[in-house]
Every structure is written in structure tokens, then in C-alpha cells.
Structure 1
Amino acid sequence: MSESGAVPIDVREEPGAALAGFIDKWRARWPEWAVVEVFVPAGQRELASAWAALLQELTDAAWGGTDPIPGEAKLGWWQEELVGWTRGARRHPLGTALQRQPAPWTTLAAALPSLGNSRERPGDPAEAFAALAPFARAVADIEQVLFAGTSDAAAPLAPAAPVDGAARRSGTDVVAATLLQARLLIAGDAGVPLDVIARAGEADSRPLWMARLRQQWPGADGTRPRRLWAALARGRLAGGDATTPLPGWRALFAGWRAARG
């Protein structure tokens, strides 16, 4: 246990049941995944779900609630946990599926403070993307390792392989855009940029922000799971409500297009 005492309570449950619980919590937020996961290679589906569940835990900690202090403590705990994964140690149930993967977990740990800092409302869309860039870059790099062979943006990578600069920037932008959609889901209008709020005036600023985000949505580079997540996120924005799942047929069509790259 960390000195902060911020160990998630679920960690003390039986690991197998707790792992399934975290994945089920993510699936409850994204029921469309049951339709589109067929486009992920069968051997990577459990890994993809566990990774998505981890990202949900991190972003919930960063953006959830009205008081940032509990989330900061959780992110601090996760920094310790991720560093421990590189030494073969794990405490969190999600580590059962993820810890043994040869991914740069310390890079993700180092990026967590930037995720916490992104809680501050951005001034404009460019600032919103920039605030998430360090964390999104770490996420994109890990996904190239976890899902090697499913990327259209770059060749499959070994853990220590260099990443082409243009492909890396593009993959980072896709992750950041998907995270900005997730923030609408987690925190409502708390992450809407100030200039969008000013343009909306007395009206709800979220529809305008969703439209702006769709207009600036980057090309769908990255691994196949990331392309699928991005397609679902953009599809929800197109529907005008970040919290409403896509109908099955729309999710299937979006997934098919994303899988084709």
C-alpha cells in the first residue's frame, strides 16, 4: 500500500473476479464494444478490454468528481503501481492481464501528472489537445507494443524500437481526440474550452464543443483497437450525445470501416 493510502478498494478482492469487474465497468460504459470487438484478433480481445479498462480508471481519477484531491492520490498510487510492473510486481487486478506485457509502463507512469494537470479547463481546442499530448503519446506508444501487427500507421514495433515521427504525432492526436470525447462522458461540460463557452453564450456549450471536436478529428491512424475506439467516440459525437451508445448497426458499420483502415 502506498503511503497515501489511496489503494482502490477493489484491489483487495479476489484478483480474477476483480479483473472481470473492472472490465465489466468499462463495457457498461461502452456496450458498442460487444459489436465491434469481432474486428480485433481473437488473441488480443481480452488484452484490449483490460487496457481500455485501465485507461478508464486513470481518466476517471483525473477528471471525476468535484474535488481533485482524491483523484490526485489515485494517480499517485497508479504511478507506483506502473513502475512496479516493470519489476514484475503488481497489486491491481488489471495487472493480471497487462503487467507481463513488454510495454513501457514507466513512460505511462511519468505521464500521469500531465493527465492530472489536464483537469484545468483549456482556453481553446488547441490547448485541450496540447494538455493531453504527453499522456496521449505514452498511450499511443504502449498500444504499438500491445497490439503490434494491427497498425496501419507504422510497422509493428518491438518494445524499444523507434517510432516514426509523423506516425507518432498522428497516433498521439487520435488518442487525444478520443480522450477529449471521454472527458465529456466523465465530466460533462467541465472540459469544454473557454472560447467555446464564450461562443455558446447562454446556451449549452457541449453541442458546440462536440461539433468543433468532430471538425478537428484527426485521421484514424494507430492500432486496430485504437481505430475502433476512435470510431465509436466520433460516432457518439455525431449523434450529439457523448453518453449515448450507438445503435448496433451504426456501431458495426463504424467498426467495419475503422478495421479496414
Structure 2
Amino acid sequence: MDKTMASATQAVADIPDGAALAVGGFGLSGVPDALIRAVHEQGARDLRVVSNNCGVDGRGLGVLLGSGRISRVTGSYVGENKEFARQYLSGELEVELVPQGTLAERLRAGGAGIPAFYTPAGVGTQVAGGGLPWRYAPDGSAAIASPPKETRDFAGRAYVLEHGITTDYALVRAWRGDRHGNLVFRRAAANFNPLAAMAGRVTIAEVEELVEPGELAAEQVHLPGVFVQRVVRLTAVQAADKHIEKRTVRS
């Protein structure tokens, strides 16, 4: 029952080339930076990442992206990462853009064993009709485009069929966790982390504070340990290493 690992390096050691990773975080909030850096040091390549965004240049998933380790991204947002945009537009990176709420539900559905669901999000757009560039050719045309999706009417309203997502591994960050893998997320870090954790067949959680089983009251637990296979306790320095994308202060 003790799922703790000695280090992030040990926890990610078996992630192979070509693995699919669901990664928590939103912008730079709740990003599993220690695990991402460990994957970078480990050397896995050709990774297929599912995450809301791909970090920023040199931070978060931007570390793996900048070193050419990611071949495909399923996400909702590109804007704060110039290298992401460059690789996508030059045809080096395959990108499936998904409406943010749809992405959240696809991860949750995959983790809950639901193969597919209908949603009104994207009806009447290229999300449903197909044609979104997944990969660009050198001449700027779409080398690979999204296929059309099944649509269906319910009570006079159109819906599009979306498939649940499961991945080989998931990397997440939590505020507190116990040795059984029960996790608590703090404030904005409770973004895509619980959903990514559900989608991974092997979920690895880095926690700022590790407690003993029984110290977390049942009503405090945001994600039960059944979804988590490995737990890594962060050092005090790692836990405090939190960056802000755009700092805004009053004069």
C-alpha cells in the first residue's frame, strides 16, 4: 500500500519513448515541474502529451518541448509559448486543439471508463466538421487535418461525439498526499490535475507535503488513492519553486 518512491528520477525511470502522458496544471499553476524535469533528464522521446497547455518557454512542459522530446500535443491553449507556436507552424509538432471544457471531460470520461460522450461544444465549427490542421506541411498547407466527427440531435439540439482519453502515464502535482496516494489539491492547482490523474494508467504524483495514512480526513481528499500508483515527496526548495506567468501589481 505504500506508494512512495525515493525520487522523481526513480518514479519516471520506466517511461519509454513514444509514451502518452497526461500532465496536470493550468499555465504555471499546479504544474508537476519536478517530474517533468526528471523525464527530461531520463531521456524519453517522441512523447504524446495531453495537457491544457504546454507550459512556457523553458518552464513546465516547455522544457520537454524545447529539447524536441514531444511529437504530439492534445491541448486547449498555445499562446504563452513561442517555441510551441514555432514548432506547430513549421510542421515539427502535431497539435490537436480541443475546447477546454471538452478536454476536461474527455480526461474525466477516460478515467471513469466512459468511452465517449456527446457535447454541444464545437457544433457548427471545424471541431465537429473537421479540417483543423493537426500538422502543417513545409509550404504552410495542412499535411494532416482533423477528421469530421459524428453528430446527433437530442431534443432538437445538435451534439458532437467526443472520445474519452486514457494515457500510459499521468504526471500531477498535489499540495498534500499520503502514502496510499490520496491527494489534496490547493486552490488553483485543482485545475486539470485530478482529471489528468484519472486518465493515466500509471499516475505519478509529486506532493508538497507527505502525511501518513489516516491523517487526511475522508472529506478532505480530492482524489482517492485508487487513481494513483506512485507518490514523490518534494523537497522544501522544490515545493516553494512556483513561478507566475504575468505578475501584475498596483503602483
Scaled by the length of structure 2, the TM-score of the pair is: 0.28
Task: Point out the structure with the larger strand share.
Answer: 2
Higher relative contact order by CA 8 Å / sep ≥ 6: 1 or 2? 2
Task: Point out the structure with the larger helix share.
Answer: 1
Scaled by the length of structure 1, the TM-score of the pair is: 0.28
